[in-house]
């Protein structure tokens, strides 16, 4: 089954590498996030803090999506967010616990995915580590690498649908966008303390 | 080339490349009066073993599109895996000499046993690696077919789908099996942009293995890019270590994002007009914009260091100060946040405390002395 899935995934055309420009990304990000945050703060004074957190998180991710268009991961992230939004626009608005909870109904949201990844990575990493310790067979190394690639695949939004090649490509843009996002958020957070 | 083919009666010595060249020449000579079918036509039925040769630098389109169906019969027959006599002379024009062509079933597997002559197309010839049966040329991807006597369509594997050769083959040709290294499929609307693989000595020559290798090489290429992105990866050489680092880094970044967003949510934000001002000033001319923008973020730990960072990134020696200022201005407001992460890298570079001092320092580092003298004055006069 894995093989079949892998074969399916291979049909993918490599497009020329897109580079995310720092300035452009940051500007778009701020442009989106700042008004959104202001709106949140203005509107929901009395809400539960968890809700606010979720909404902020949501906006943070949306800002990411809009600042880095055209990548597979950003499209996947967008889809996740929209799904999340659809799920919760209809819900009664109970706070979604953004904790290490795999039973979260909104499992498709990027937030819970991030947390889930932590657990999974822990397990996978341990397995890989043990493998490494036991023997250095090529086989084991391959398994090792494969499990790590699987980890990475879960880390990057939309990674399950990518083949290894594509995933490594997307990783470049994803990592640089994450870095820039962290910068922006750090700046915003420090500015407002 | 033709004489070369002639001389090599033992077709096992014939290189695939020479065959291709011969094909091309033959094509040009005995061309389209034969009413070439389109690229989508099935190959002649009598072709038992057909192999596909993709030539990159020679006219790929015509070769790929038009050539193969006709060539199959007499020419490509020679590429079968059954060892037999020498490679036929490509000239025999009528494509119906299947009898003769079956003689030509010199195995492609055998062809590459001779060291390749270095060919004009600049292909690499690695002689020790030529001993493999289905060795492929550097610029060509050869897929030998199996021995079924059915209509097989010749398909060129798309570049990026090198691994889908098998897949598409199976779709078109019902029972095309992977067992004997062969797929025949037809050129459809694929771009002539092929991945060229050579099977190394001692390595599997299965088309799938080759495709796998191509993919793996691409992946490792990409990993090198990632090494630059992920800090601290320069020393790590192994793929596993790299992957570990990348995973850790991505996870830490994601955790940081979560933490910061929670922080943002908790903090009562003076989410301020400052931001908007920062961005509106982007379009302002250089001197007016940069100075106030930088002034507005007093908590920036090392604004000069950031500027230094930007300048070292963006500026060559040849750029005139005008461009520098403009570019700096545009990037200054939006890159303000980056200071925090980058300042840690650059605190050592600019230890000075005063703003003007930093500027002077900055420009002496980044620019000519002449420019350094003039530029700060430019910047400050407008404000």
Q: Write out the DSSP string of B246-266.
A: HHHHHHHHHHHHHHHHHHHHH
Q: What is the pLDDT of residues A93-127, one digit of tens each?
A: 444 444 333 333 433 344 444 444 444 444 444 44
- Number of Cβ atoms within 10 Å of the Cβ of B190: 21
Q: What gap in Å lies between CA B140 and CA B21, rounded to an integer?
A: 12
Query: What is the rounded average pLDDT of the residues A164-180?
Result: 83
Across chain B, what does the average pLDDT equal? Answer: 53
Could you tell me if B215 lies within 8 Å of chain A, comparing CB atoms? yes
pLDDT of B261 higher than 80: yes
List CB contacts (< 8 A) between B243 and chain A. Answer: 145, 148-149, 152
What pLDDT does B252 receive? 92
Q: Which residues contact A82 (CB under 8 A, 6 or more apart)?
A: none
Could you tell me if B250 lies within 8 Å of chain A, comparing CB atoms? yes
Could you tell me if B264 lies within 8 Å of chain A, comparing CB atoms? yes
Q: What gap in Å lies between CA A85 and CA A62, rounded to an integer?
A: 11
Query: What is the rounded average pLDDT of the residues B313-326?
Result: 44
User: ipTM value of the model?
Assistant: 0.71
How close does chain B come to A122, measured CA to CA in Å?
A: 11
3-state secondary structure of A45: coil
Tokens coding B376: 């700060």
Cross-chain Cβ contact A14/B160 below 8 Å: yes
- Specify the residue for token string 């060892």: B83
Could you tell me if B273 lies within 8 Å of chain A, comparing CB atoms? no
Residue of B nearest to A38 (CA): B271
Q: Which of A192, A56, A44, A180 is nearest to B271 (CA)?
A: A192
Element (DSSP H or E) covering residue B323: helix B321-334
Of A93 and B249, the one with more pLDDT: B249
The residues that bridge with B140 in the sheet, in sequence order, are B55
CA trace torsion B356, B361, B362, B368 (10° rounding): 120
pLDDT of B165 higher than 80: no
Q: What gap in Å lies between CA B209 and CA A144, rounded to an integer?
A: 20
Q: What gap in Å lies between CA B8 and CA B21, rounded to an integer?
A: 15
pLDDT of A186 higher than 80: yes
Element (DSSP H or E) covering residue B140: strand B140-144
List CB contacts (< 8 A) between B229 and chain A. Answer: 172, 175-176, 179
Within 142-201 of B, beta carbons closer than 8 Å to A belong to 158, 160-161, 163-164, 167
- Specify the residue for token string 């090599």: B8
Cross-chain Cβ contact B276/A34 below 8 Å: yes
């Amino acid at each position: 089954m894995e093989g079949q899935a892998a074969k399916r995934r291979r049909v993918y055309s490599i497009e020329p590498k897109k580079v995310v420009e720092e300035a452009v990304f940051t500007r778009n990000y701020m442009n989106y996030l700042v008004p959104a945050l202001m709106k949140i703060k203005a509107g929901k004074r009395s809400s539960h803090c968890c809700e606010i957190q979720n909404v902020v998180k949501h906006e943070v991710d949306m800002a990411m999506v809009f600042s880095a268009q055209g990548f597979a991961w950003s499209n996947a992230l967008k889809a996740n967010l929209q799904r999340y939004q659809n799920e919760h626009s209809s819900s009664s608005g109970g706070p979604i616990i953004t904790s290490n909870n795999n039973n979260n109904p909104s499992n498709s949201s990027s937030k819970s995915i991030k947390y889930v990844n932590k657990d999974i990575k822990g397990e996978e990493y341990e397995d890989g580590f043990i493998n490494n310790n036991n023997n250095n067979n090529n086989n084991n190394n391959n398994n090792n690498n494969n499990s790590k690639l699987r980890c990475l695949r879960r880390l990057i939004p939309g990674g399950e649908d990518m083949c290894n090649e594509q995933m490594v490509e997307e990783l470049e843009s994803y990592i640089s966008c994450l870095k820039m996002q962290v910068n922006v958020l750090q700046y915003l957070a420090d500015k407002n303390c | 080339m033709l004489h070369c083919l002639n001389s090599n009666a033992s077709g096992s010595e014939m290189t695939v490349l020479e065959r291709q060249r011969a094909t091309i020449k033959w094509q040009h000579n005995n061309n389209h009066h034969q009413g070439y079918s389109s690229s989508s036509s099935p190959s002649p039925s009598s072709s038992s073993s057909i192999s596909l040769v993709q030539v990159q630098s020679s006219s790929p389109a015509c070769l790929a599109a038009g050539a193969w169906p006709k060539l199959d019969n007499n020419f490509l027959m020679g590429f079968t895996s059954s060892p037999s006599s020498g490679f036929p002379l490509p000239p025999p024009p009528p494509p119906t000499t299947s009898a003769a062509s079956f003689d030509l079933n010199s195995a492609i597997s055998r062809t590459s046993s001779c060291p390749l002559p270095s060919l004009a197309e600049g292909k690499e010839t690695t002689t020790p690696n030529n001993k493999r049966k289905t060795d492929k040329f550097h610029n060509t991807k050869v897929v030998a077919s199996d021995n079924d006597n059915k209509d097989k369509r010749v398909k060129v594997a798309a570049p990026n789908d090198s691994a889908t050769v098998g897949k598409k083959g199976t779709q078109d040709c019902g029972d095309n099996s992977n067992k004997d290294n062969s797929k025949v499929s037809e050129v459809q609307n694929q771009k002539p942009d092929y991945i060229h693989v050579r099977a190394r000595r001692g390595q599997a020559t299965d088309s799938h293995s080759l495709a796998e290798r191509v993919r793996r090489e691409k992946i490792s290429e990409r990993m090198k890019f990632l090494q630059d992105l992920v800090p601290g990866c320069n020393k790590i050489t192994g793929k596993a270590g790299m992957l570990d680092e990348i995973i850790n880094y991505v996870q830490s970044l994601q955790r940081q994002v979560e933490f910061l967003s929670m922080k943002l949510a908790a903090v009562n934000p003076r989410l301020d007009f400052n931001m908007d001002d920062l961005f509106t000033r982007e379009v302002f001319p250089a001197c007016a914009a940069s100075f106030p923008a930088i002034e507005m973020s007093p908590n920036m730990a090392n604004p000069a260091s950031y500027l230094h960072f930007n300048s070292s990134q963006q500026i060559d020696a040849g750029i005139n100060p005008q461009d520098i200022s403009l570019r700096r201005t545009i990037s200054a407001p939006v890159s303000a946040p980056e200071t925090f992460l980058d300042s840690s890298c650059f605190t050592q570079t600019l230890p000075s405390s005063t703003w003007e001092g930093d500027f002077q320092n900055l420009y002496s580092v980044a620019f000519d002395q002449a420019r350094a003298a003039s530029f700060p004055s430019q910047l400050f006069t407008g404000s």
